């Protein structure tokens, strides 16, 4: 009889393999841990901290925490959810996230995770940063206002597309995504609409042009079921429209 090693996620035994993170094992077992910068396709980043969990009184990001036997992981207490709400609120006030005016609304992970954690308002004062929009690419538009610095476009372009189109630059609150081209414009980069990086953005920062409102409001990914059941908008899926 082969012994299955497990850890506890909210009291439920989750089997895991050597090298798994808590996030890997939980997702495989069909358990949802809220996350934004994580995508199973890519090396974990651990930057958004929304997947924060508590183990023995200490806090970790589940996407970077190696699973260990008999670990007791708190993923859904009110205390943990409150921390996630605060982190999401920080992301909302840092950028300019105007959901009613955003094409991604209804299929946006930031919005969906905020609903899931029952975030009711941005709470903190808005920074209202002045950020630009890069519309120079024929097929793709980049809204810096909505970027949450998850680094997924950087990883996708580098690791899957082999292009290094996106790089996170700067420091602190001045961090921003820049594009690799002679002019610094997205239109002069090697980005193609079929690139993995073009469809990886969990929010409305990278959007295809000429596709606005093809899926009506009310029929979008998270319009009827929560992200905990639907999963990420940016994973490779067969039924993706």
Partner 1 sequence: MQEPPDSIQQISLTAPPWTDDNESIATQETHPGYALQMHQAESFINELLARADARPASGSLLQYLCLIQRQYSCIPETTVHVLAERLSIPASQVFSVIDFYTFLHRTPRGDFDILFSNNITDRMLGSQALFGRLCQILHVEPGVPRADGRVTVDWTSCTGLCDQGPGMLVNGIAVSSLDEKRINEIAEQVENKTPLKQWPADWFEIKDNIQRRDILLSDQIVNGSAIEALINKGAENLLQAIEQSGLRGRGGAGFPTAKKWRFCRDTKADDYYVVCNADEGEPGTFKDRVLLNSYADNLFEGMTVCAGIIGAKKGYLYLRGEYLYLREALEETLQQRRQSGLLGNNILGQEGFDFDIDIHLGAGAYICGEESALLESLEGKRGIPRKRPPYPVNQGLFGKPTVINNVETFINAAKIAVFGADWLRAAGTEQSAGTKLLSISGDCERPGIYEYPFGTSVSQILADCGAADTQAVQVAGAAGTTLTADAFERSICFEDLATGGSFMVFNQQRELLAMVKNFSDFFRHESCGFCTPCRVGGALINDLVNKVMVGHATQLDLEEMKNIGSLMQQASHCGLGATAPNAVLQTLEKFPDIYTARLANRSFEPAFDIDAALAPSRKITRRDDPGAHIAYEPEQSSKP
What is the Cα 192 distance to its own chain's centre? 21
Q: How far is the CB of 2 from partner 1 (least distance, A)?
A: 26
Q: Which of 179, 197, 198, 205 binds partner 1 (CB under 8 A)?
A: 179
CA 224 to chain centre: 20
Provide the minimum distance between the beta carbon of 29 and partner 1 in the complex, in angstroms, as a whole number. 23
Phi, psi of 6 (to 5 degrees): -140, 160
CA angle 228, 196, 36 (to 5 degrees): 30
Candidates 90-98, 100-108, 134-142, 201-209: pick the segment binding partner 1 (CB under 8 A): 90-98
As measured in angstroms, the least distance from the Cβ of 167 to partner 1 is 4
Considering only 69-77, 88-96, 107-115, 224-232, which stretch makes contact with partner 1 by CB under 8 A?
Answer: 88-96
- State yes or no: residue 121 binds partner 1 (CB under 8 A): no
* 81 part of the interface to partner 1, by CB under 8 A: no
Choices 25-33, 41-49, 97-105, 222-230 (CB under 8 A): range interacting with partner 1 = 41-49
Q: What DSSP letter does each residue of 113-161 carry, written as one string? A: HHHHTT--S--SPP------EE--SSSEEEEGGG-----HHHHHHHHTS
Q: Please give the full DSSP string across 181-237, using - where no structure is assigned.
A: SSSS-GGGS---TTSGGGG--SSSSEEETT-TTSSPTTSSTTTSS-HHHH--SSS--
Asked if 178 touches partner 1 (CB under 8 A), the answer is yes
In the list 105, 180, 192, 199, the residue contacting partner 1 (rule: CB under 8 A) is 180
Burial bucket for residue 100 (CB in 10 Å: 0-12, 13-18, 19+): exposed
User: Could you tell me the smallest distance in angstroms from the CB atom of residue 104 to partner 1?
Assistant: 19
Name the token pair of 118.
């029952």
Task: Please report, as residue ranges, which positions from 129 to 168 form the binding site for partner 1 (by CB under 8 A).
Answer: 149, 164, 166-168
Q: Is position 87 an interface residue for partner 1 (rule: CB under 8 A)? A: yes
**Listed ranges 137-145, 173-181, 201-209, 210-218: which one lies at the site for partner 1 (CB under 8 A):** 173-181
Residues that bind partner 1 (CB under 8 A): 44, 46-50, 52, 59, 61, 64, 66, 83, 86-87, 90-91, 93-94, 124-125, 127, 149, 164, 166-175, 178-182, 184
């Amino acid at each position: 009889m082969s012994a299955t090693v497990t850890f506890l996620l909210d009291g439920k035994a989750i089997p895991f393999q050597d090298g798994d993170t808590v996030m890997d094992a939980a997702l495989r077992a069909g358990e949802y841990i809220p996350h934004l910068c994580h995508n199973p396709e890519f090396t974990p980043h651990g930057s958004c901290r929304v997947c924060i969990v508590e183990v023995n009184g200490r806090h970790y990001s589940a996407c970077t925490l190696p699973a260990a036997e008999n670990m007791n992981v708190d993923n859904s207490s009110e205390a943990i959810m409150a921390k996630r709400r605060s982190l999401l609120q920080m992301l909302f006030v840092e950028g300019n996230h105007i959901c009613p005016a955003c094409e991604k609304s209804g299929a946006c992970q930031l919005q969906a995770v905020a609903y899931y954690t029952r975030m009711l308002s941005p709470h903190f004062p808005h920074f209202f940063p002045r950020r630009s929009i890069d519309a120079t690419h024929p097929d793709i538009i980049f809204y810096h206002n909505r970027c949450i610095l998850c680094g997924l476009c950087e990883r996708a372009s580098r690791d899957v597309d082999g292009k290094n189109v996106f790089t996170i630059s700067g420091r602190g609150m001045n961090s921003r995504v820049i594009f690799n081209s002679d002019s610094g414009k997205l239109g002069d980069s090697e980005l193609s609409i079929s690139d993995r990086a073009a469809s990886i953005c969990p929010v409305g920062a990278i959007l295809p042009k000429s596709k606005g409102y093809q899926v009506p409001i009310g029929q979008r990914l998270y319009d009827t079921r929560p992200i905990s059941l639907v999963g990420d908008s940016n994973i490779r899926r067969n039924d993706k429209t």
